[in-house]
Amino acid sequence: NAGVTQTPKFRVLKTGQSMTLLCAQDMNHEYMYWYRQDPGMGLRLIHYSVGEGTTAKGEVPDGYNVSRLKKQNFLLGLESAAPSQTSVYFCASTILQGTEAFFGQGTRLTVV
């Protein structure tokens, strides 16, 4: 039982490049979330999903897209990376709204 797994763990991108972050959970959780963590700020919600095939915008969705084609996977895409997207990205999942959250180990992304 791996819990929540994020890949990759580290990545350096050049401005304008694209990439996809993968979040996989093996707990059959309905809810999945993508957050970014920046110094001096709390985690901020980028996008979330309340079930397979559904996604919704969070607090800071601009510049990101997501997909939830399979219940266990939640993908976060950057189509044209910008230096402002340099951050640590965390994925989380919960079985239902408001229940215990399980987090991935984070992805440290640097855009130069």
Partner 1 sequence: KNEVEQSPQNLTAQEGEFITINCSYSVGISALHWLQQHPGGGIVSLFMLSSGKKKHGRLIATINIQEKHSSLHITASHPRDSAVYICAVGSRNQFYFGTGTSLTVIP
DSSP class of residue 84 equals G
Contact 93, 27 (CB under 8 A): yes
User: In the bound complex, what is the minimum distance in angstroms from residue 80's beta carbon to partner 1?
Assistant: 26
Q: Is 48 or 74 the residue whose CB approaches partner 1 more closely?
A: 48
User: In the bound complex, what is the minimum distance in angstroms from residue 35's beta carbon to partner 1?
Assistant: 8
Q: Is 101 or 112 the residue whose CB approaches partner 1 more closely?
A: 101
Q: Is 19 or 95 the residue whose CB approaches partner 1 more closely?
A: 95
Q: Report how far residue 4's alpha carbon sits from residue 42's, in angstroms, rounded to the nearest whole number.
A: 20
User: In the bound complex, what is the minimum distance in angstroms from residue 104's beta carbon to partner 1?
Assistant: 7
Contact 104, 4 (CB under 8 A): yes
How far is C-alpha 46 from the chain's CA centre?
7
3-state secondary structure of 25: strand
How far is C-alpha 86 from the chain's CA centre?
14
Q: Is 49 or 85 the residue whose CB approaches partner 1 more closely?
A: 49
* Interface contacts to partner 1, rule CB under 8 A: 31, 33, 35, 40-45, 48, 50, 56, 58, 90, 92, 94, 97-106
